[in-house]
Structure 1
Amino acid sequence: MPLFFLAYVAYVSIALPDNVGGITWPSVRLDLGQPVEALGLVVPFGVAGYVASSSATAFLLARTGVGGLLALSAALSGAALAAYGAARAFWVVLLAVFLGGLASGAIDTALNAYAVRHFGARRISWMHAGFCLGAAAGPGAATWLLADGRSWRWVYAGLAALQVALAVTFAVSAKRWIPPATPARTHRTRPRPGARALWPSLAAFTLQSGVEAGTAIWAYVHLTAGRGMPDGPAGLTVSAFWGAMFAGRIVVGHGTRRGGTRRFLSLGAWGMFVGALLLAVPGPGWLASAGVVLIGLAAAPMFPLLTLTTSERVGEAATERVIGLQMATSAAAGAVLPGAGAGALVGVFGVGVIGVFLVVLAGGMCLLRGRL
């Protein structure tokens, strides 16, 4: 199996569990005797694990190699999902989610670090398109199993089996992954990128993740409670958001050689801004729906191409380390900005503030693009 195809499969696999927790939680919390709001405690544990491992991935890559780290992380993910499915106490769920975050952060960062050096714009965009497939397929599969009368434990058993199979595949192909050319192998100190080169990268990932996650989380509420749209069309709009992002990444993969990464990044930033404006301005529900889909399409090239151009901003020597910091920043921003940030604003001003919130973040991205 070609390594780039294995990377695609891996990206689909790590995305599968991401949105399953919300589908299974009603059943999980009844079995474990937890209130509905306990789900709010689960998410931070996963984010903490992801941030911890992605920040340390450059250190781990220098000692285990790409293939070894991917195999170990996929095995850890399988064990974490199996523990979640077998949990009889809530603390086991929290531990499993933390371990799953550790595994996901390491796999995500290692694959991106490898892709930046060996895949190019087309393949890294397609790799990230695989995430959209996994993000859509996971909830669908979980819903089907639960509707068929299966226990939520079978959902996690199936996900664990997929991760174990992925770990075996990574282990078999471990020697084929070219080791990262990091100075950590030959120097006593790790390269430290200057603050002037580092902060635009981290700020870009903060703003981009805030817009993308904020739209994914709040679009349904904004359309139904804010614009009076029926549940069905609002739900289809959220699905179209992910579909537009998937299609956009496929198109970007084909078009980067002709259009160039800088042009796609500029189009993406301005597209997110226009889409956010459509959510913010008063108007019919279909106008806001168009804004949601436009944000999905415009956000498509942002994450993969910002990752791909990391070395241009911070230099080759610090690439792996900065990619890890970018992944950690993205995960933290994707959790904090839409949750604590947008949630607090909605509590004060109502759901209509969501569009304004996204306009501010997307506008910041447009202003920042010159520094990238």
Structure 2
Amino acid sequence: MATLLLIIIYLAFISLGLPDSLLGAAWPVMQSDLGAPLEMAGFLFMTIAGGTILSSLVSGKALKRFGTGKVTFFSTLMTAGAILGFSFAPSVMWLFLFAIPLGLGAGAIDAGLNDYVAAHYKAHHMSWLHSFWGVGATLGPVIMAQYIAGQNSWSSGYFVIAGIQFVLAVILLFTLPLWGKVKSSQNVSQDKQGRKESLGHEEQEKKKPLQIKGVKLALASFLFYCGVEATMGLWGSSYLVNIKGLTAADAAQWVSLYYGGITIGRFVTGFITFKVNNVTLIRAGQIIALCGTILLLLPLPSIFALAGFMLVGFGLAPIFPCMLHETPARFGKKHSQTIMGYQMAVAYTGSTFLPPLIGFIASQSTIQTLPLCMVVFVAAMYLSTEKLNQRDGSPASL
């Protein structure tokens, strides 16, 4: 029963990832069709992420009142309707209108399912859960690229994705009884990594969450992580079209490989967690991502840009789920749920404000500044986590 429900949860995370990569992949064509400036995609992205922040902050009350299953179903239905609205939108203003429910639905799904998996399933399932987000995020640009190349129609791409979302919503509707049958008291297996809470947690529990040493560094890591992930997804296609001279369809395919790197990396990470601890995986991922952004920055042929995109995706893969799973080990179980909420909110804040900031910089100069900004963001994330590791007494090198 628990295994069947886990499959349903994985499907729900596919639905969460599907719309996340669509706007960036379709924007080079949407911008021309709608007569919008380049930076408008950043403001649309900000609107979506703003709704996600809001729903993640209030999701706790909704989850307690209605349960994870019902909230997930309703949120998936809401995102399906919003994506369908995108496909029929005649102007940018309509896109902004439908961006609101799209963000609200995504935040509730993310917060609810992350909490449910952390409470009821083994630790490695967290990495696999986020790899299924990558499945959706990878399929989105692939589907969009087919309709851009074949019909030059971004609206048809959105229409097909909306149909997939509605199918997933129906599956969630018919499997709602499963959520009640899986007991909430189910024991959580100990993580193979064997990390235990430090003795200092007793004193930490007497403090308010934000007063605990290291929490602000953890929040900074989440801010820059999601800033990097979202900015690459939103502006990567425009960078490839305007700087590397690729067609919009080819650029969308390349961006799908970036998300493919995240997907494959998280699937592999799920197995690696049996032997390697979270801290090492986070550090290794950040170093790989930094190498990828540097490769994008160098004046090399287009094929190296493709390698850079894949390296960044593969490097980012273990970081987010491993940082989430480290929360109770670093800060104690009493405050872990509250700190987890803070981390998700700050992560979405990075997704909300950093991509539009890059769009503004690009509109004032050139989209060629994208790789440099990515190097700065990844380096800031790396420094934040290394300072946090020093606070925890973690080894300073691989």
Alignment TM class, shorter chain as reference: 0.7 to 0.9
Q: How far did 1:249 drift? A: 1.0
Q: Which residue of 2 aligns with 1:73?
A: 75
* 2:274 alignment partner, SS class: helix
Q: Deviations over 1:11-34 (max 9, x none)?
A: 11122233345677799999xx96
Deviation of residue 51 (structure 1)? Answer: 0.6
Going from structure 1 to structure 2, the CA distance change for 1:353 and 1:148 (only over 3 Å counts) comes to closer
Number of equivalences: 359
% identical equivalent positions: 26
1:86-235 matches, cutoff 5 A = 93-142=95-144, 144=146, 147=150, 152=156, 154-155=159-160, 158-179=163-184, 192-195=208-211, 196-223=213-240, 225-226=242-243, 228=244, 230-231=246-247
What secondary structure sits across from 2:13 in the alignment? helix
For the pair 1:316 / 2:316, whether they are aligned, the reply is no
Unaligned stretches of 5+ residues in structure 2: 187-206, 390-398
Code of the residue aligned with 2:336 in structure 1: it is T
Q: 1:36 is paired with a residue of what secondary structure?
A: coil
- State the distance in 1 between where 2:294 and 2:31 align: 38
1:297 to 314, 319, 340: 314
Moved more, 167-176 or 361-370: 167-176
Cα 1:178–1:337 change in 2 (3 A) is: farther
Amino acid at match of 1:307: L
Contact 2:71/2:109 (8 A) holds in 1: yes
- Relative to structure 1, the CA distance from residue 354 to residue 142 in structure 2 (aligned partners, 3 Å threshold; closer, same or farther) is closer
SS in 1 for 2:275: helix
Residue number among 339, 348, 369 corresponding to 1:353 in the alignment = 369
Find the counterpart in structure 2 of residue 187 from structure 1: none
Tell me the TM-score normalized by structure 1. Answer: 0.81
1:14 corresponds to which of 10, 16, 20: 16
Is the contact made by 2:18 and 2:136 (CA closer than 8 Å) also made in structure 1? yes
Question: Residues of 1 paired with 2:91 and 2:309: CA distance?
Answer: 39
Please state how far the C-alpha of 1:257 moved relative to its aligned partner.
0.8
- Secondary structure of 1:258's counterpart equals coil
The 10-residue stretch of structure 1 (277-286 or 35-44) with the greater mean CA deviation from structure 2:
35-44
Q: CA deviation at 1:206?
A: 0.9
| Cα distance change on mapping 1:319 and 1:74 into 2, 3 Å | farther
| Alpha-carbon contact 1:70-1:170 (below 8 Å) kept | no
Residue identity opposite 1:256 in structure 2? T
CA distance in 2, matches of 1:296, 1:20: 16
**How do 1:53-64 residues align onto structure 2 when only pairs under 5 Å count?**
53-64=55-66
Residue 192 of structure 1, CA deviation: 4.6
Kindly indicate whether the alpha-carbon contact (under 8 Å) linking 2:36 and 2:92 is maintained by their aligned counterparts in 1: no
The answer to whether the 8 A contact 1:125-1:249 is kept is yes
Q: 1:9 deviation in Å?
A: 0.6
Task: Determine whether 1:367 maps to 2:383.
Answer: yes
Distance across 2 between alignment mates of 1:115 and 1:357: 34
The residue correspondences of 1:244-323 to structure 2 (distance < 5 A) are: 244-323=261-340
In 1, Cα distance between equivalents of 2:123 and 2:282: 12
> Please, what TM-score do these two structures have when normalized by structure 2?
0.77
Given that 1:275 and 1:295 are in contact with CA atoms closer than 8 Å, whether structure 2 keeps it comes out as yes
Which has the higher mean CA deviation after the structures are superposed, 321-330 or 270-279?
321-330
One-letter identity of the residue aligned with 1:345:
I
Q: 1:41 to 1:267 in 2, by over 3 A?
A: closer
Once the two structures are TM-superposed, the CA of residue 351 in structure 1 deviates from its matched residue by 3.7
Task: Look up the equivalent residue of 1:324 and give its one-letter code.
Answer: G
The alpha carbon displacement at 1:154 in A equals 4.4
Deviation at 1:137, TM superposition (A): 1.7
What one-letter code is carried by the residue in structure 1 that aligns with 2:234? I
Q: Answer whether contact 1:54 1:325 (CA < 8 A) is retained.
A: no
Residues 92 and 317 of structure 1, relative CA distance in 2, 3 Å threshold = farther
Please tell me the root mean square deviation across aligned C-alpha atoms, in Å: 3.5
Give distance in 2, aligned partners of 1:83 and 1:280.
37
Q: Report the CA distance between 1:176 and its aligned residue.
A: 3.4
CA–CA distance in structure 2, aligned partners of residues 205 and 107 of structure 1 = 18
> How far apart in 2 are the matches of 1:93 and 1:136?
22
Deviation for aligned residue 1:83: 5.4
Q: Is the 8 A contact 1:126 1:250 kept in 2?
A: yes
The answer to whether the 8 Å contact 2:290/2:379 transfers is yes
